[in-house]
């Protein structure tokens, strides 16, 4: 039997301890057990279990496995673990299948630490590890975003030959890596797999194709599709859906038509997901009428729209500002017995927020909990932004405080939205208190988050504090992007500090971050406000030479300045 050491990945994991004991069982003829018919709820499952453990002879381990699998399907993960503990206490024989089910129960509860604690039980009772065990553990690690631990475990399995990875093993790792943007590593693992004993099939190829499509690397995705065909590995519906989604996002509808024709020729019928992708792509381009036509076509083909399909149509109407029509679709799907999910609620809430109809948005937000759903961070971010836009910063703060009490845990988007609101309404002290707390707690931050803070300080006449934060960015491992530089340039321009502006421009050049049209407009606005005539003339020429032009704000300031100094209009180059 192969042993696996409890390494750093799970060293902190507490082992389960069980005590064997005997229990009296009633003697009876072997009863027939039909888990599918007898178990409709948790009480049924527990009752059947207690009846099973009193039987003599005991039901086979297969019957216990069937019961636990049914409970897993019913999402009673904790109950599975509790009944497994009873089995151990009663000394009832267990199998690798039961141990795998218990491991999976822990993983589904996001308790990978406890899942690893099942491994010593294998060793204690002499059951060899199998590939299913480690596929489950790998999936659990990725589910808890422990990518490094998952990769370490996978390498250990291969190097120490603990068990032979199968296609599911590779697929689990590749899927986990690709979902976190590690497309190159996913592709490399596919190439390694091609050289090993376990050859990739349509499942693993489809994972890589999906990752490439999400990276908008459609040429590489098509090349991999052709490679599959050359190896006589026929693509499936998942392969084509990924490709169609990629081309829809780019608006390459001729390519989409080609792929759909190819599917039909291979007797692969578009499913509800395929049609939903097409509908979403059309709606994103504002072609809601065409999207509705596709939905009519899918119904004619016997494919019923689901909540994702209807949500895409709703989003299409909201993007066109037709929230009332989106609301009608929302009501239609409820009439059809399709329960709205958190995504469909968020779409409609966002639509009403953009229309500044916060009464309706808040009504829907309150309805979510009444329907037994939980608002996620996207829903909260949407409603917070809507409240801030109409000046209801107090209500936004109440929702934020409620998140801190009952969840979900605010993320970087929520924090950025609230900070933006504080700064927008001059609540600098509140903003900086929150900012300092987040820094102390080392909360997840990025350059966009810091840009919100720097911009807020600049607009509230706190240029020195903004510049101090800007200067420390490299020391905390963050590289300013063009928006961060533009925010700082705008702040200096408002104060007429053009030497500092030149310094920022030099930094941009040194860091390979070229100035854009916004950069030049901010600087031109500063020159105009400060009446720097000579600088205005030379800068206009530079803008024209770089192909940049005045935006509406710069044009407005120019018109106001020209009223006092009409000659300035004669200085404008032809292409400005």
pLDDT in tens, 342-401: 999 999 999 999 999 999 999 999 999 898 899 999 999 999 999 999 999 999 999 999
Instruction: Determine the pLDDT at residue 24.
Output: 46
Q: What is the mean pLDDT of residues 42-63?
A: 92
Nearest to 259 by CA among 290, 303, 225: 225
At 546, the pLDDT band (50, 70, 90 cuts) reads confident
Whether the Cβ atoms of residue 502 and residue 536 lie closer than 8 Å to each other? no
Query: ω into residue 57 within 30 of 0, thus cis?
Result: yes
Q: Give the mean model confidence (pLDDT) for residues 479-483.
A: 94
SS (H, E, C) 478-500: CCCCHHHHHHHHHHHHHCCCHHH
Ramachandran region of residue 101, left (φ > 0), alpha (ψ -120 to 50) or beta?
Answer: alpha
Q: Is 128 helix (H, G, I), strand (E, B) or coil?
A: coil
Q: What is the pLDDT of residue 14?
A: 31
- Tokens in use for 102? 């218990």
Distance CA 157, CA 171 (A): 15
- Closest by alpha carbon to 458, among 431, 482, 418? 431
Percent above pLDDT 70 for the chain: 93
The predicted pLDDT at position 131 comes to: 94
276 against 442, higher pLDDT: 276
Lowest mean pLDDT among 12-21, 143-152, 351-360: 12-21
Residue 19 Rama label (left phi>0; alpha psi -120 to 50; beta): beta
For residue 530, give the 3-state DSSP assignment: coil
User: What pLDDT does residue 29 have?
Assistant: 46
Whether the per-residue pLDDT at 22 is higher than 80: the answer is: no
- Whether the per-residue pLDDT at 244 is higher than 60: the answer is yes
Residue 429 has pLDDT above 60, yes or no: yes
Q: Are 98 and 84 in contact, with CB atoms under 8 Å apart? A: yes
DSSP string, 241-266: HHHHHHHHHTT-HHHHHHHHHHHHHT
Q: What mean pLDDT comes out for the span 273-283?
A: 97
Question: What integer pLDDT is reported at residue 376 of this predicted model?
Answer: 92
**Mean pLDDT score, 68-91:** 94
Nearest to 280 by CA among 241, 332, 254: 241
d(CA 179, CA 207): 10
Q: Confidence band (pLDDT; 50, 70, 90) for 520?
A: very high
Section 393-421 average pLDDT:
94
Angle 342-348-352 (CA atoms, 0-180°, nearest 5)?
140
For residues 5 and 514, give the distance between their C-alpha atoms in angstroms, rounded to a whole number: 52
571 pLDDT band, cuts 50/70/90, is low
Question: What does the pLDDT read at residue 564?
Answer: 78
pLDDT band at 31 (very low <50, low <70, confident <90, very high): low
- Distance CA(433)–CA(429), nearest Å, equals 6
Residue 576 has pLDDT above 60, yes or no: no
Contact 305, 269 (CB under 8 A): no
* 8 against 152, higher pLDDT: 152
Q: Is the pLDDT of residue 470 over 70?
A: yes
Distance spanning both ends of the chain, measured CA to CA = 78
Average pLDDT over residues 56-80: 93
Judged against a pLDDT cut of 70, whether residue 20 lies above it is answered with no
Q: Which residue has the higher pLDDT, 31 or 142?
A: 142
Q: Higher model confidence: residue 85 or residue 568?
A: 85
CA atoms of 552 and 558, how far apart (whole Å): 10
Per-residue pLDDT tens digits for 315-338: 999 999 999 999 999 999 989 999
* Least confident segment among 59-68, 411-420, 470-479, 555-564: 555-564
> The whole model's pTM is what?
0.78
Please give the average per-residue pLDDT across 105-132, as a whole number: 93
Highest mean pLDDT out of 35-49, 207-221, 526-540: 207-221
pLDDT score of 413 more than 60: yes
Q: Give the DSSP letter of residue 13.
A: P
């Amino acid at each position: 039997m192969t042993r696996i050491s409890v390494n750093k990945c799970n060293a902190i994991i507490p082992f389960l301890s069980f005590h064997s004991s005997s229990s009296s069982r009633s003697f009876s003829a072997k009863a027939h057990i039909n888990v599918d018919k007898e178990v409709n709820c948790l009480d049924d499952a527990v009752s059947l279990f207690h009846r099973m453990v009193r039987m003599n002879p005991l039901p086979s381990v297969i019957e216990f496995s069937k019961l636990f699998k049914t409970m897993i399907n019913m999402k009673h993960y904790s109950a599975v673990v509790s009944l497994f503990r009873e089995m151990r206490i009663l000394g009832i024989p267990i199998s690798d299948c039961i141990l795998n089910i218990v491991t999976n129960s822990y993983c589904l509860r996001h308790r990978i630490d406890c899942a690893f604690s099942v491994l010593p039980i294998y060793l204690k009772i002499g059951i060899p590890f199998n590939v299913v065990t480690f596929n489950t553990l790998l999936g659990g690690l990725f589910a808890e975003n422990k990518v490094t631990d998952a990769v370490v475990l996978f390498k250990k399995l291969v190097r120490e030959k603990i068990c032979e990875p199968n296609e599911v093993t590779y697929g689990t790792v590749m899927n986990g890596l690709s979902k976190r943007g590690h497309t190159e590593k996913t592709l490399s693992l596919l190439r390694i797999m091609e050289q090993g004993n376990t050859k990739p099939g349509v499942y693993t190829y489809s994972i890589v194709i999906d990752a490439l499509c999400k990276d908008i690397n459609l040429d590489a995705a098509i090349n991999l599709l052709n490679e599959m065909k050359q190896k006589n590995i026929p693509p499936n519906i998942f392969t084509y859906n990924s490709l169609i989604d990629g081309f829809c996002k780019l608006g390459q509808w001729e390519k989409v038509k080609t792929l759909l024709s190819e599917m039909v020729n291979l007797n692969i019928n578009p499913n509800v997901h395929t049609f939903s992708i097409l509908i979403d792509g059309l709606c994103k381009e504002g072609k809601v009428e065409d999207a509705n036509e596709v939905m009519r076509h899918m119904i004619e083909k016997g494919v019923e729209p689901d909540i994702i399909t209807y949500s895409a149509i709703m989003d299409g109407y909201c993007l066109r500002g037709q929230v009332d029509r989106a609301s009608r679709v929302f009501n239609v799907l409820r009439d059809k017995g399709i329960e709205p999910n958190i995504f469909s609620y968020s779409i409609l809430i966002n639509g009403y927020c953009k229309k500044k109809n916060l009464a309706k948005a808040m009504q829907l937000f309150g309805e979510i909990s009444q329907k037994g759903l939980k608002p996620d961070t996207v829903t909260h971010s949407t409603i917070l932004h809507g409240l801030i836009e109409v000046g209801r910063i107090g209500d936004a703060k109440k929702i934020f405080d409620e998140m801190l009490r009952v969840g979900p845990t605010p993320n970087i988007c929520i924090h950025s939205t609230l900070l933006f609101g504080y700064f927008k309404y001059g609540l600098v002290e509140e903003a900086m208190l929150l900012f300092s707390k987040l820094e102390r707690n080392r909360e997840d931050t990025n350059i966009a988050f810091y840009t919100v803070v720097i911009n807020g300080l600049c607009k509230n006449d706190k240029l020195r504090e903004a510049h101090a934060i800007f200067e420390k960015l490299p020391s905390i491992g963050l590289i300013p992007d063009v928006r961060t530089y533009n925010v700082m340039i705008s702040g200096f321009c408002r104060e007429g500090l053009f030497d500092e502006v030149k310094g920022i421009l030099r930094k941009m050049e040194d860091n390979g971050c070229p100035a854009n049209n916004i950069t030049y407009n901010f600087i031109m606005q500063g020159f105009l406000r400060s009446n720097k005539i000579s600088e205005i003339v030379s800068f206009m020429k530079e803008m024209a030479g770089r192909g940049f032009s005045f935006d509406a704000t710069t044009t407005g300031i120019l018109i106001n300045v020209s009223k006092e100094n009409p000659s300035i209009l004669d200085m404008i180059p032809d292409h400005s």
